[in-house]
Amino acid sequence: MDKEKILEINNLKISFTQYQKGMQQTELPVIKDLSVTIHAGEMVAVVGSSGSGKSLLAHGILRILPYNAEMGGEIRYCGKPLTEKNIRKLRGKEIVLVPQSTAYLDPLMKVGRQICKGLKDKEKKHRLDTIFEEYSLDKKVQEQYPFELSGGMTRRIMISTALVEKPKLVIADEPTPGLDPKLAKRAMEHFRQLADMGAAVLVITHDLELALETVDRVQVFYAGHTIEDASVDDFEREETLRHPYTRALWRAMPKHGFHYIGGVQPYVKDNLQGCPFAPRCDMASRECQGEIPWKVSGSGYVRCIL
């Protein structure tokens, strides 16, 4: 693809420093090796189980990590390193986040004022009205405080806020929980539209089935590592997927019978070498404990020796 690379993340690492019993310091490496590239016009889903570090990825890109977090690796935006100074200028304008937690709204400020912070011009106000209509939000909502709204309503407002700007990069962190299936689908379609208009869209989710309806590619994230990057077409059949974990995810999808994956994801502190899925994999061998290189395979790539 020769479209412009909007976001390029190489070997991202995020770890926390924790203090135990006095001054004893421990490192908690949550994201160990994550790489993802999104071109203009592309919508990519990052899927991973709960607690695997998906929100940290979003917060790492926007540089809103907690003080005890440390980040390594490389993040590039439109071909240049995304520095702390740059992101400050771009955040909320060219680069927008739809946060996972509804706690991101200021509880003491009316909703309308929060969304309209930068909406001095008429065009944006008009866009906001249209978006509100599309999400079945009454204009009166703008006069309310966050505590007066239901969870689903708050989520719709957060999505609207991000869509009002004409962003170049959209990062949506679990944007659909709390929405009914129709609205969830509409939200995903809305992100798709932004991609079709030229934006790069990163959707962080554990709803693989919903994501597959709108995205172009899926990045599978497991125990701190990117393990596979597959096109949506690869998900049509189990055989076209490459990593045993991705195949297990496929079998766990409701329409493929909800098959449960045995075992649990390794804890970040258990400093496992090699493939993080090996302890749960039927096909694992000694080789899986060594360094596992990326392999290009069809339209995707995978980190598996099989």
Ligand X SMILES: Nc1ncnc2c1ncn2[C@@H]1O[C@H](COP(=O)(O)OP(=O)(O)OP(=O)(O)O)[C@@H](O)[C@H]1O
Enumerate binding residues for Ni ion (CB under 5 A). 54-55, 100
Q: Which among 131, 106, 26, 120 is positioned nearest to 70, based on CA atoms? A: 26
Q: Which among 22, 28, 54 is positioned nearest to 208, based on CA atoms? A: 54
Least Å distance, CB 28 to ligand X, is 6
Shorter beta-carbon distance to ligand X: residue 54 or 280: 54
Residue 110 and residue 145 in contact, taking contact as beta carbons nearer than 8 Å: yes
Task: Please give the full DSSP string across 205-222, using - where no structure is assigned.
Answer: ES-HHHHHHH-SEEEEEE
Residue 26: strand pairing partners: 18
Lookup: tokens for 115: 């969304």
x-or-dash string of contact with ligand X, 155-174, rule CB under 6 A? -------------------x
> Amino acid identity, residue 306?
L
Q: Does 176 bind ligand X (CB under 6 A)?
A: no
Shorter beta-carbon distance to ligand X: residue 111 or 184: 184
In the list ligand X, Ni ion, none, the entry touching 30 (Cβ below 5 to 8 angstroms by class) is ligand X
Question: In sequence order, what are the residues at sequence separation of 6 or more whose Cβ sits closer than 8 angstroms to the Cβ of residue 102?
Answer: 146, 151, 154, 155, 158
Shorter beta-carbon distance to ligand X: residue 28 or 284: 28
**Footprint (CB under 6 A) of ligand X, residues 9-28:** 16, 28
Q: What is the 3-state secondary structure (H, E, C) of 119-142?
A: CCCHHHHHHHHHHHHHCCCCHHHH
Q: Does 51 bind ligand X (CB under 6 A)?
A: yes
Shorter beta-carbon distance to Ni ion: residue 95 or 97: 97
Shorter beta-carbon distance to Ni ion: residue 54 or 242: 54
What is the C-alpha separation between 306 and 294, in angstroms, rounded? 12
Shorter beta-carbon distance to ligand X: residue 78 or 252: 252
Measured torsion, CA atoms of residues 240, 242, 247, 248, in degrees rounded to the nearest 10: 180
In the list Ni ion, ligand X, none, the entry touching 5 (Cβ below 5 to 8 angstroms by class) is none
Query: 32, 39, 54, 303: which one contacts ligand X (CB under 6 A)?
Result: 54
DSSP at 22: T
In the list ligand X, Ni ion, none, the entry touching 298 (Cβ below 5 to 8 angstroms by class) is none
x-or-dash string of contact with ligand X, 187-226, rule CB under 6 A? -------------------x--------------------
- Residue 237's region, left for phi above 0, alpha for psi from -120 to 50, else beta, is beta
Q: Does 48 bind ligand X (CB under 6 A)?
A: yes
Least Å distance, CB 56 to ligand X, is 4
Stretch that binds ligand X, among 49-57, 154-162, 211-219, 290-298 (CB under 6 A): 49-57
Residue 53 and residue 31 in contact, taking contact as beta carbons nearer than 8 Å: yes
Shorter beta-carbon distance to ligand X: residue 117 or 269: 269
Least Å distance, CB 253 to ligand X, is 17
Least Å distance, CB 174 to Ni ion, is 6
Cα distance between the two ends of the chain: 27
Residue 85, SS3 per DSSP: helix
